[in-house]
Structure 1
């Protein structure tokens, strides 16, 4: 999996977490970030362990 695909996966997970949490007015960005990290590291995340690590690093740079 290329870096571009990993970055796209991170953005997809971020958007989905934000949409799910949009009904909760008190959601803080760190809660969203934790949610995104969980989905990235889970079975729906990108590729294998190396890609998941890269995705989490990219998430850290975004937020």
Structure 2
């Protein structure tokens, strides 16, 4: 059996399957981590907007 660079060997096939299985295994954790990061960014944005609204209302009462 001659090994060329473009032939799929059983070893490379097994490695590819293992890589896909590991990615599928860790995909929920990756998505949860991304969702938590986005949630914290959203919380910070809401806090900043509320704080800015309080400052604007304090310096310009009744304008908004």
TM interval, short-chain normalised: 0.3 to 0.5
Q: Which has the larger helix fraction?
A: 2
TM-score by length of 1: 0.35
TM-score by length of 2: 0.34
The structure that has the greater radius of gyration is: 2
Question: Comparing both chains, which one has the higher relative contact order based on Cα–Cα distances under 8 Å and sequence gaps of 6 or more?
Answer: 1
